Amino acid sequence: MNAPDRLTALSGISPGITIRAEPRPPRADWLCRCGRHERAIGRDAVIELASRATVTHCPHT
């Protein structure tokens, strides 16, 4: 098959926050809608990041 004959579906990583409590210590990853990534490690840092994280408004621009 030639390249133009193939259908390709692309999907990216959606903005949002992911929080993982296991394995210890807790971790959070936030991908902002502008593409900036932030990671927090430790209970207090995860709580602080979760309180700031939003998908609807970008605080970086």
Strand order in the sheet with 16-20: 16-20, 27-31, 37-41
Question: For residue 54, how many other CB atoms are within 10 A of its CB?
Answer: 14
Q: Is residue 36 part of a domain?
A: yes
Residues 30-41 pLDDT 10s: 998 888 999 999
24/22 Cα distance (integer angstroms): 5
| Number of domain units in the chain | 1
Enclosing domain of residue 23: 14-61
Residues 3-61 pLDDT 10s: 556 665 656 778 899 999 988 899 999 998 888 999 999 999 999 999 988 878 888 88
Q: Is residue 43 part of a domain?
A: yes
Q: Is residue 2 part of a domain?
A: no
